[in-house]
Structure 1
Amino acid sequence: MTGAHRPAEAGRTAGTETTGTDETTGTETTGTDEMTGTGRATGAGGLPEIDVAGAARTRHPLRWVASIVLLVLAAQLVSLLVTNPNFQWDVVGRYVNAQLIGQGIATTLLLTVIAMAVGVVLGVLLAVGRLSENPVARGACGLYVWFFRGTPVLVQLVLWYNLSYLLPEISFGVPFGPEFVTADTNALITPLLAAILGLGLNEGAYMAEIIRGGLMSVDPGQSEAAAALGMSDARTFRRIVLPQAMRFIIPPTGSQVISMLKATSLVSVIALADLLYTVQSIYNRTFQTIPLLIVACVWYLVITSILYVGQSFIERHYARGATRNAPQGFWAFAALRRRRSTEVTS
């Protein structure tokens, strides 16, 4: 009886192949017995799996060349900024914290916030109108977007500022009937209001397309499933559609905020004392054009950098759960495979 069992034992010690299925991944594996050596693992479809845990790092000599070139150019730029006396850094340091500059920064920030608020509110209304089944609402909203996206912001600012040429008085009442309220256009349309109207109405057209694209990115099956559960349209939009659309709306909206901050410099043509207009008023008296423009650039860069950091945190908040916590990149995946193989052998 012992002799009958010896061939089977010899088969095990000679390296008989065994086939099985990995319980964690569901892939079929084939290999030899532990006493004779290791076999080759196969994945789905019988294709061999490639173990990248011990792969050699690929060399990229062109990256080193590009890095050296960039470092040389950066060194030349720093040398130019430090050694060229025409930049007049002492003048820059004297005006960068000036009280007059601070007032211009406050006007710029106020205008950015109000114009973006107007743009977002209009964008939501226009996006809903463009997605409406009502052809009149859809056509009117599309016409608005077409007009304000097709004309330059500077032209719109000048038109609003000079509205009194078209309408000396602005009145509200019954069409072809009595007027209830009448106001002088020059007294009503101040430079600040003209700037808010010009920037805000233009921004509404762009935000409408951003919001519409974000809403359309959500699978319609989400709304259908919510309706099947008895949720109202408003609750479905607030709890289901909008949270998923926000991760597509936030990145371009953050870019629009930064663009709006820089677009406020256009209001200098209508004599609104923003940052750029304040800088211009100073160098028109002192003739120190370049140092004062550097002051404006420094403050624009500081504010946009802060906005960029805030945008990154908001994007990270709304992106939670959108992607799996998977390793990104070749070497991260190789490290994961190495840890998995160590756990299996131990």
Structure 2
Amino acid sequence: MTLSEEGKVIAEHYKILQSGELGIGFALMAAQRYLSRQHPDRMVSIAPADIVLSAGWRARGQYRPQYFAELWKPGKPSLVLPIACKGNHSNAAYSYGQLAAASAHVEAMHIGPYDETPALVFSTALPKDGPATIHALQATGTGGWLHGSHAQAVSLDDAHTDEHFYPDIKQPTEDGKPPSSVTGFHVTPERHGWFRRVLARTSAAGLTAFAGDGSAAYQYLTENQGRKHFTGFAHAAAGTVRDAAETILGIDFLGTDHVFRLNGVRVEAFSGVAEDLLRLLSKGRVEQYRQEVYERRFAWPSSSWDNSWNGPVSVHLDGSVLAMRLLP
């Protein structure tokens, strides 16, 4: 991968923004592929940590991960890993410093036992000359599991509520000393069911927003999570009139499209979700959506080009698609 001529002369502040966004993209793709190989019987969903945590904590300026990877299977406990990712246009030495800084963000999140939460940190180097390199570190641990009878009894179809947890992590003590704590986010066992529901419904909000269905996204978020941003906007794809409908690689998708210019060339981008799955999500049926998408996880096409669309396409295991093509 190389920068275009336009990219080589772009302003320094934009280069920082660019490396950060590309670093996130490469890191999350690497995380999904790695975790899918480590846990082939599970789906991997990525949810933005800021939105998830805002449903339970109001801490400002506190270190936190950027994303959560939820490894789920219908009827089974979920495994959740905090993720922090950074990017740069420098070299490996700079990436090592970014990895060290990223570790502080994932260490501020504990799920289950103290100091046992597995996590992933990434730093993607995008030097001016040379290939892109993803540096990654994994912390192992026995935590991260959302288990217990209460967590499994929770229905993902039911709305979650805003909570007001104090941002602290309880540290174990010895010899009967009073417990101490450090600032951070701790999902203790009694919060497992609530946290599992927040994760699943936040992921559903991301999918429906990706397809342009604001009314569906609204139902999956709380006030603290920013559902007001979807007030008054309903995408036609989930209603009686379709704003954008495409058949890609033989699958009917509903979604939205955008036209933009790339170095002066007009490009169309379509983002959507398989029609039957988007219908389920628009009706709030997260449990049924997860069951069906899990059963179809090996059935999605792997081709990266659709001749009838006349452009590159990417179909994800969650039923979403991103397709692009040049316009005259």
Which has the greater radius of gyration? Answer: 1
The answer to which structure has the higher helix fraction is 1
Q: Which has the higher contact order (CA 8 A, sep 6+)?
A: 1
TM-score after normalising by structure 2: 0.22
